[in-house]
Amino acid sequence: MPVDHTKNIIEVENVSFGYNEELVLEKINFNIHKGDYLGVIGPNGGGKSTLLKLILGLLTPSQGTIKLFGIDVRNFKEWWRVGYVPQKVVNFDVNFPATVFEVVSMGRYGRKGLFRQLNREDRKIIEQSLEQVEMMEYRNRMIGDLSGGQQQRVFIARAMAAQPEVIFLDEPTAGVDVPSQGKFYDLLKKLNRELELTLVFVSHDIEAVVHDVTELAFVNKALTYDDHPIDISHHKLEKLYGHKKHILYKDNKNK
């Protein structure tokens, strides 16, 4: 979908944050627009996940403001509008006795409330979410029986079941085999361009990020923003990281 740069859905202004008086992020400024597919890259310990946690309200800035849909994050209540796909291995026990359908339904409960029963419309939305990530045929399988790539598709469907306007993904391919990663990146591109979802993808995989995203944010205490990521050069990457980084270029006529 075309990015609408006239409509900011997330605004980060002059944000700084530190752990135990050690500054991790300093004076971060950028906006996320409706329709963006923003890639967030940077070295380990550079502050990528910390920035994500600040936007999601899991941490509080020591300086600056963050607004979600025009509302200060400290006062934001409509969290169903913001989907989150964390690192699978950290946040979900795949041995938990739940089917794929039950896992995805958790996202719907996030929209309705834990003590509300699912109705026919809810089940339809859950099934649509599974279809959109091509996992409908696995709806009755146990989540622990799936491959890493399949599980991550289910976790995206779980986020989509709440019908959010933006989805954040924090290193979602960690522990996923390379062939599955390729299919996963194709899925994200489809969600952004065909289903018009705004995506924010935190990753260490420069190759995947540069080829598919519409904007690129490099985070290493400070932030460098690029709205033409496909044109990024080896020289620019080397300057950002402080050492040589390589990416492989491919045909991008379909971007």
In a domain, 248, yes or no: no
Integer-rounded Cα Rg, in Å, for the chain is 18
Q: Which pLDDT value is given to residue 6?
A: 75
Q: Residue 20 sits in which domain range? A: 4-241
C-alpha to C-alpha distance for 225 and 182, rounded to whole angstroms: 25
In a domain, 251, yes or no: no
> What are the tokens at 198?
């705004």
Q: Which pLDDT value is given to residue 254?
A: 39
In a domain, 250, yes or no: no
Beta bridge partners of 169: 85, 201
| pLDDT-flagged residues of the chain (< 50) | 90, 233, 244-255
C-alpha 241: how far from chain center: 22
> What are the tokens at 243?
């050492």
The answer to whether the beta carbons of residues 66 and 84 sit under 8 Å apart is no
C-alpha to C-alpha distance for 145 and 148, rounded to whole angstroms: 10
35: left (phi over 0), alpha (psi -120 to 50) or beta: left
Q: Round the average pLDDT of the chain to a whole number and report it.
A: 84
In a domain, 253, yes or no: no
In a domain, 254, yes or no: no
Beta bridge partners of 119: none
- CATH number, domain containing residue 76: 3.40.50.300
Cβ burial, residue 13 (10 Å; 0-12/13-18/19+): middle
> What are the tokens at 170?
């924090």
| 199 CB neighbour count, 10 Å cutoff | 24
C-alpha to C-alpha distance for 183 and 175, rounded to whole angstroms: 14
Q: Which pLDDT value is given to residue 252?
A: 40
The answer to whether the beta carbons of residues 149 and 180 sit under 8 Å apart is yes
In a domain, 47, yes or no: yes
In a domain, 43, yes or no: yes
Count structural domains, the chain: 1
Q: Which pLDDT value is given to residue 213?
A: 87
- Whole-model pTM: value is 0.84
Q: Which pLDDT value is given to residue 88?
A: 61
In a domain, 169, yes or no: yes
C-alpha to C-alpha distance for 86 and 184, rounded to whole angstroms: 14
Q: Which pLDDT value is given to residue 37?
A: 93
